[in-house]
Amino acid sequence: MHRLIRTALPLTASLIALSLPVHAALLPMDNQSLSEISGQAGISIRADVLATVREVRWTDDGGHASLRNVKIDNGCLTPASCPNGSGASFAFGAAQLGLTLPIFGVNLPTLKVDVVSNASGLQQLQLTLPDLTSINEQLVASGIPAQRIRVRVAADMYIGESRLGSIEIRDITDLRGTFKVWGH
């Protein structure tokens, strides 16, 4: 009996401690604080997307225009549509929105998020797209084919119920951009 009490008492106390509410405060962190904790100044986000959307519709004064059967993928529908540069091809799959070239040490995310300070010291949130344009300029100058972000967005276009045709966007080779966001 005493052995059961000696075993059950610490176990019961542990369970009670685990069930007590725990409060933790989320504190804002600037770029310096973030880099001190993780060794990184910001975060990198890689998004590969495979999606189907039935309809995107815009309505005005009773009429509407729409995109139907919207597909987002890498566009590799046949082996010839996505050669990989070494005689083979990429398989059909998710849109690869970042760029990875391991042989050159390039691993660009879809989006980089950083906290930066402007000339007056005001902190800003900076969103940076991959600099695909500069990389491709260097590759082409070296005789290497340009790399592309493998993405295809395809849809059928409609005005009301009348089909106008289809639209397709694919294979981004020129892309770079930075957005900064701050309060006033």
Domain count, the chain: 1
What b/e sequence results for 54-63 when a residue is b if at least 16 CB atoms lie within 10 Å of its CB, and e otherwise?
A: eeeeeeeeee
pLDDT tens for the 184 residues of the chain, in order: 444 344 444 444 443 444 445 455 556 767 666 666 544 567 888 888 999 999 999 998 888 999 999 999 998 888 888 877 677 888 899 988 888 887 778 888 888 888 888 888 888 888 888 888 988 898 899 888 888 888 899 999 999 999 999 999 988 889 888 888 777 6
In a domain? residue 24: no
In a domain? residue 29: no
In a domain? residue 16: no
Range of the domain at 60: 48-181
pLDDT at residue 79 in the model: 80
Per-residue CA distances from 184 to 59, 116, 118 (Å): 34, 16, 13
In a domain? residue 89: yes
